[in-house]
Amino acid sequence: MAYVFYDTETSGLSSEFDQILQFAAIRTDNDFNETDRFEIRSRLLPYIVPSPGALRVTGIGPDLLMDATLSSHYQATCQIREKLLEWSPAIFLGYNTIKFDEDFLRQALFQTLHSPYITNTQGNVRADVLRLVHAAVAYAPDCLAIPINDKGKPVFKLDQLAPANGFSHENAHEAMADVEATIHIAKVIRKGAPEVWQNVMKACRKSAAIDTLMTTEVPQIF
């Protein structure tokens, strides 16, 4: 199956009270060769109050929020949906997407009266590169260079992890740049920890996960 790597930049952290301001995605074949890319921005909905902290991180200023030449939230969501359906079936991935970006995508689709479950229906499946990083660190610790903060703790933020592993990430928190950084990390993991990659890709399919649970011998503890 093809891979679809995607990322969003939003007006805040809550999918219930914020919105997607920028969406970017790259479709690749099974060997990470790019076959298509898509990017869109939308203007701020009139009832959304953006978080100053989010705008500081993304670099999106008031002039861009209110730019009348940008697509409306509805128009942008419709175009995102159309592109993702065009690319389906695929394995949808991103960096912390299942916990964050996926919620925003589903909320946007629901609010615009579309089925919100594009990434895990109609033959599509999903995975999360952040979880792949965690698995690689546990099972193939030499696969990735993990930054350490001043408290001696590992740092898994993409804007620090990608440069530590050879990706020039000057435009961090810009949606397309984050997608490219995510693809780079995915390549590093698949090359350095192929078994981890294969097992996670297998587990993102419900039937394969159930089969693994049913056929794996559980050690007797007592």
Write the pLDDT tens digit of every residue in 159-211.
999 999 999 878 888 999 999 999 999 999 999 999 999 999 988 887 777 77
141 SS3 class? coil
**Domain end among 97, 126, 155:** 126
Query: Is 217 a member of any domain?
Result: no
pLDDT given for residue 219 in this prediction: 60
User: Can you tell me whether residue 60 is helix, strand or coil?
Assistant: coil
Domain edge (last residue) among 126, 158, 188: 126
**pTM of the prediction?**
0.92
Q: Does a structural domain hold residue 196?
A: yes
Q: Show which of 70, 101, 126 is a domain's final residue.
A: 126
CATH code where residue 185 lies: 3.30.420.10
Average pLDDT over residues 121-143: 95
Looking at the structure, do residues 203 and 111 belong to the same domain, yes or no?
no
Task: State whether 145 and 47 are in the same domain.
Answer: no
The tens digit of pLDDT for each residue in 107-123 reads 999 999 999 999 999 99
pLDDT value at position 211?
A: 76
pLDDT of residue 221: 55
Same domain, 27 and 79: yes
State whether 69 and 133 are in the same domain: no
In a shared domain, residues 135 and 37? no
Residue 22 sits in the same domain as residue 116: yes
Q: What is the C-alpha end-to-end distance of the chain, expressed in Å?
A: 42
One domain, residues 35 and 24: yes
Please provide residue 154's backbone torsions phi and psi, each rounded to the nearest 5 degrees.
-70, 145
195 with 116, same domain: the answer is no
pLDDT tens digits along 36-86: 999 999 999 999 999 999 999 999 999 999 999 999 999 999 999 999 999
Structure tokens at 107: 């909320």
The strand pairing partners of 34, in sequence order, are: 28
Overall domain count for the chain: 2
pLDDT tens digits along 3-25: 999 999 999 999 999 999 999 99
221 burial via Cβ count (<10 Å: 0-12, 13-18, 19+): exposed
89 and 133 part of one domain: no
Q: Do 106 and 183 fall within a single domain?
A: no
If asked whether residues 10 and 112 sit together in one domain, one would say yes
Nearest to 38 by CA among 7, 9, 69: 7
Domain of residue 171 covers 129-208
116 lies in the same domain as 173: no
Q: Residues 67, 58: contact at Cβ < 8 Å? A: no
